[in-house]
Amino acid sequence: MIKFSPHIAVGVRNYEDALEFYKNSLGLELQKSDNDESEFRCGDISFYIERSDESQPTWLEFRTDDVELLKKKMEDAGCRISTTHMEKSYLVVDPYGMRFHIWEE
- Least confident stretch, 35-39, 46-50, 55-59, 100-104: 55-59
Q: What's the chain's average pLDDT? A: 88
* Mean predicted confidence (pLDDT) in 31-43: 94
- Give the Cα separation of 101 and 105 in Å (integer): 13
pLDDT above 90 (res 27): no
Strands 7-12 and 45-51 turn out to be parallel
Tell the CATH topology of 1-56: 2,3-Dihydroxybiphenyl 1,2-Dioxygenase; domain 1 (3.10.180)
Residue limits of CATH 3.10.180.10 in the chain: 1-56
Q: Give the burial string for 38-71 (b: 16+ CB within 10 Å, else e).
A: bbbeeeeebbbbbbeeeebeebebbbbeebeebb
What percent of the chain shows pLDDT beyond 70? 97
- Give the Cα separation of 12 and 103 in Å (integer): 23
